[in-house]
Amino acid sequence: MTYIGAGDEEDLPRLFREVERMAGTFADGMRELDERKVTGADSSGRVVATVTGSSRLLHVRIDPRAMRDLDHVALSQAVLDAVGAARRAAGEGLDEILGGLDGGRPRPAPEDDPFARYFDAFLREDGHG
């Protein structure tokens, strides 16, 4: 994507087409992510969570041994760890989509990205975060 400088007003239609293309690519990628299933497990492997590629929780499987061997605090932590691992794995899919939007150019660090808070807010509002 090219950035507009002073005197580049004639490039606005091209810029708008590029933005529309990127928005379409992003929407298609998010639909594809929502159809993926990604799993993650706690460190013992006794609790496994499944989320969509957009991080929506689908299923948690708890091995009967975990129910027997862990107290309620340790079991709840194992569930949190498994869900967190699954969501981190799903985040890699989002990184792939975002990486494809800019033609492979390096992205700014999150703290330097002026759009990061908008993407975060969008994902939270849409129930993906």
Q: What digits encode the pLDDT tens for the residues 5-41?
A: 545 566 788 888 888 888 888 888 888 888 889 999 9
Number of compact structural domains in the chain:
1
Put simply, whether the predicted model's pTM sits higher than 0.75 gets the answer: no
Element (H, E) at 114: none
- The pLDDT of residue 21 is 84
- The pLDDT of residue 16 is 84
d(CA 109, CA 112) in angstroms, rounded, equals: 5
Mean pLDDT of the chain: 81
Is 1 domain-assigned? no
- Helix, strand, coil shares of the chain, percent, nearest 5, are 60, 15, 30
Which CATH number does the domain housing residue 32 bear?
3.30.1310.10
Q: Range of 30's domain?
A: 9-125
Element (H, E) at 58: strand 57-62
Q: Are 59 and 41 in contact (CB under 8 A)?
A: no
Q: Are 40 and 53 in contact (CB under 8 A)?
A: no
- The pLDDT of residue 1 is 45
